[in-house]
Amino acid sequence: MGRLCWAIMMAGALVMAANSQANEAPLAKKVLVIGHRGASALRPEHTLASYGKAIADGADFIEPDLVMTKDGVPVARHENEISGTTDVAQHPEFAARKTTKTIDGEKVTGWFTEDFTLVELKTLRARERLPQFRSTAYDGQFQIPTLDEIIDFVATEAATQGRVIGIIPEIKHGTYFKQAGLPMEDRVLAILADHAYTRTAPVEIQSFEIANLRYLRGKLGKDHPNIRLLQLLGDAKEEPYDVVAAGKHLSFAQMMTPAGLRDIAGYADAIGPSIRSIIPLAADGTLGKPTSLAHDAHAVKLELHPYTFRPENFFQAKNFWQGSDPKTFNEAGSIAEIRAYLDAGVDAFFTDDPAIGRKAVDGR
> Has residue 29 been placed in a domain?
yes
> Has residue 134 been placed in a domain?
no
Which segments in the chain show pLDDT lower than 50? 6, 10, 13-21
Q: What is the pLDDT of residues 125-139, one digit of tens each?
A: 999 999 999 999 999
Q: Are 309 and 346 in contact (CB under 8 A)?
A: no
Q: What is d(CA 90, CA 338) in angstroms, rounded to the nearest whole number?
A: 39
Taking alpha carbons only, the member of 256, 193, 247, 257 closest to residue 219 is 193
The helix/strand/coil state of 176 is helix
Q: What is the CATH number of the domain that holds 309?
A: 3.20.20.190
**pLDDT of res. 5:** 54
Pairing of strands 106-110, 99-103: antiparallel
Q: Could you tell me the pTM of the whole model?
A: 0.93
Q: What is the pLDDT of residues 89-140, one digit of tens each?
A: 999 999 999 999 999 999 999 999 999 999 999 999 999 999 999 999 999 9
Q: Virtual CA dihedral for 258, 260, 261, 267, nearest 10 degrees?
A: 150
**pLDDT of res. 76:** 98
> Has residue 90 been placed in a domain?
no
> Has residue 295 been placed in a domain?
yes
For residue 200, with 0-12 CB atoms within 10 Å meaning exposed, 13-18 middle and 19 or more buried, which class applies?
exposed
**pLDDT of res. 122:** 98
Q: What is d(CA 97, CA 24) in angstroms, rounded to the nearest whole number?
A: 51
Instruction: Tell me 307's DSSP state.
Output: B
Instruction: Tell me 31's DSSP state.
Output: P
> Has residue 108 been placed in a domain?
no
Supply the range of the domain harboring residue 352.
Answer: 3-77+143-362
Q: How far apart are the first and last CA of the chain?
A: 16
Q: What is d(CA 166, CA 67) in angstroms, rounded to the nearest whole number?
A: 20
**pLDDT of res. 4:** 56
**pLDDT of res. 260:** 98
Q: What is d(CA 135, CA 308) in angstroms, rounded to the nearest whole number?
A: 19
> Has residue 262 been placed in a domain?
yes
Question: What is the tally of structural domains in the chain?
Answer: 1
> Has residue 281 been placed in a domain?
yes
> Has residue 223 been placed in a domain?
yes
**pLDDT of res. 20:** 41
